[in-house]
Amino acid sequence: MWYESVDSTNNEAARLISSLDNLSVISALHQTAGRGQRGNTWNSDSGTNLMFSLVLKFGDRVLPVLPATLQFAISEATTLGIAEFLKRYGISARIKWPNDIYVYDRKICGILIENRIRNGLVSASIVGIGLNLNQETFPDNLPNPTSVFLESGKVSDIRKSLEYLLDDIGKYLDILVSEGYADALRVPYLKKMYRKDAVHLYIDNLDGHEFEGIIRGISDNGCLVVETSDGFVREFAFKEISYVIS
C-alpha cells in the first residue's frame, strides 16, 4: 500500500493492523512525523528514499508462534536482509547493534521495530525501515548519514528497490521459520556486526561515563556483550550503551 504522504508508516500500520494481512507493507513517499529510535524523529527528503513498515503477524503457517524471548530474531532477519540488498550495489554494510545499518562510520538505514507482546508471545511486529536511497545531501545536524547513491553512484527506482528489499528480508524470515527461530541467524548476524572484536569507545548510559570496550557478541536475549579494558564482560540492553563515533 503506497501513500503520497502519511504521518508515519509505523503509525499507519498500527492504526490498520487488525485489518491487514500478514506481511502487508505500508510505504510512503513522504512522512510528516517520521519516528526514529529513542523518541527521535526521522527526516527524509520526499520521494527520494525508502520509508515503509512491514507488518508481521505471528501464529499462522507462514510465521508460526514466536516467543517474546526470541524477539531479537526479527531484528536479525531484517538487518541481514537489508545488508543483502545493499550487496546488490556492491555496498558492504555492517549492522550496528541493534538496528542500524552502517557503511564504515556512516548510517545508511535506520529501523524502528515495534512489537506487540501478549502472554509471552510476539503477536505482531511493525518493522519500520528508513533506507537512504537517492538522497545526495543531508541536513548538517545529522551526524553521519550516507545513501545508496552516495556509496555506489547509482540512482534507484524506489518501487523496484522496495520489491528487491522485501525479497531479501523475506529470505531471512524463511530461514528463521524453517529453523524454528532460535539461533537460526545468530552466526551471520555476528559476522556482519559493526565494530565487533575491535577496541572502541562507548558510553555507559547508566552513569554517563565513557569507556573502552570490545564488542564480543549478543546474549541469548539480544543484549550487546562488551568486554571492557579491565577484563570484565558486560551485557547492555538497548538504551544502556551508546557508541562514540567521531
Residues of the shown chain interacting with ligand BTN in the complex, contacts defined by CB under 6 A? 8-10, 31, 34-37, 40, 42, 51-53, 100, 110-112, 128-130
Nearer to ligand BTN, 103 or 184 (CB): 103
Residue nearest ligand BTN (C-beta atom): 110
CB of 35 to ligand BTN, least distance (A): 4
CB of 227 to ligand BTN, least distance (A): 26
CB of 230 to ligand BTN, least distance (A): 31
- What are the contacts of 146-150 at 24+ separation with CB within 8 A? 146/103, 146/106, 146/107, 146/108, 147/49, 147/108, 148/86, 148/89, 148/91, 148/108
CB of 183 to ligand BTN, least distance (A): 26
Q: Which residue has the cell 551526524?
A: 143
Please tell me the total number of residues recorded for the chain in this structure.
246
CB atoms within 10 A of CB 102: 19
Nearer to ligand BTN, 53 or 134 (CB): 53
Nearer to ligand BTN, 66 or 129 (CB): 129
Nearer to ligand BTN, 34 or 181 (CB): 34
Using CA atoms, how far apart are residues 142 and 87, in angstroms rounded to an integer? 24
